[in-house]
């Protein structure tokens, strides 16, 4: 049974991209969970009501939405490899 070029290409793409995308998804998931953990002590320390904390968290996620289009435009210009690496390094440094 001979594989077509398309099947070979799709297999190679899947083997390279799927683990990387799983890593990115895990990092994004951990980033969102951190907001929930922060609510446990930060709300009391800052005197925020649950409504105020929810509003702040909502603004944080609106930032994701607003910067997605410009980020994708830059990604198209500089290439996915460089841009995704830049995003991961920046978030890692900011999270640390």
- Does the pTM surpass 0.85? The reply is no
pLDDT at 91: 84
Please report the pLDDT score of residue 1 as a whole number: 60
Report d(CA 52, CA 58) in Å as an integer.
Answer: 10
Average confidence (pLDDT) per 10 residues, the chain, 96 residues = 85 90 90 81 85 84 84 91 91 85
pLDDT of residue 82: 93
Spell out the domain ranges in the chain: 5-95
Query: What pLDDT is recorded for position 37?
Result: 84
State the pLDDT at residue 74.
92
């Amino acid at each position: 049974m001979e594989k077509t070029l398309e099947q070979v290409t799709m297999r190679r793409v899947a083997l390279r991209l799927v683990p990387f995308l799983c890593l990115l998804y895990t990092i994004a998931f951990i980033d969102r969970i951190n907001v929930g953990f922060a609510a446990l002590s930060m709300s009391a320390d800052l005197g925020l009501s649950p409504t105020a904390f929810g509003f702040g968290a909502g603004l944080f996620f609106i930032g994701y939405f607003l910067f997605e289009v410009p980020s994708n435009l830059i990604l198209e210009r500089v290439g996915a490899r460089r841009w995704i690496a830049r995003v991961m390094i920046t978030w890692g440094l900011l999270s640390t």
